[in-house]
Structure 1
């Protein structure tokens, strides 16, 4: 099966982003067990070592926790998940506003565009 990865971003980072997105959207819920490293590696079409790195990074971010003999689970710490959402929102808005400024759009143009988009 596999996932189509972007060529300009490390695969492990794309997998982290995918799992974080699933958590923020509620596709993965607090306390839910993640697939094993091998299962997820096969599903994604990547090496098990890559998937192990993904799980290690998520655990270091305190987004998941490993329970000995049971596997990896999404954190049940709702504050951690909310902080993740807030951080991601700030990153996206910052990147967006930097791009807007680089192209010389005015605040009014962007506000109107967002209003128009919201009316669709």
Structure 2
């Protein structure tokens, strides 16, 4: 269901958060779908349950999932979520930093647009 790159410099919990978000935006996971329990996923990925728990807590804080005591963890309905302006502001700042880095590496505007359009195909349409 989820894959973790053990050789990546990105922490495992961040990889899991991003992987779950990607599956939500691409429609692999849909509103109401049940996620594996912390123990189940830790066993499947051969990881510490605390790592899975940390990822789930981040996803709950970001309103991607909800845990119902005694029932499990489920994907939230994205239609019910308000825009998170604080996170959008941070995303814009990160995007600006990425553009500066790209400019320093002489990446053209055309290449950046191509990358954006290419990622739309892989991860679902941007609105």
TM-score by length of 1: 0.72
Q: 1:59 to 1:114 in 2, by over 3 A?
A: closer
4+ runs deviating over 4 angstroms: 89-96
How many Å apart are 1:74 and its aligned residue?
0.4
Q: CA RMSD in A?
A: 3.3
1:76 aligns with 2:77: yes
- Cα distance in 2 for partners of 1:40, 1:64 equals 15
- Cα distance in 2 for partners of 1:16, 1:69 equals 22
Aligned match of 1:114: 114
TM-score by length of 2: 0.68
| Count of residue correspondences | 112
Aligned match of 1:12: 13
User: Is the contact made by 2:66 and 2:73 (CA closer than 8 Å) also made in structure 1?
Assistant: yes
Q: 1:77 to 1:24 in 2, by over 3 A?
A: closer
SS in 1 for 2:104: helix
- Cα distance in 1 for partners of 2:96, 2:7 equals 22
Unmatched tracts of structure 1, length 5 or more: none
Q: 1:90 to 1:54 in 2, by over 3 A?
A: same
Q: 1:91 to 1:34 in 2, by over 3 A?
A: farther
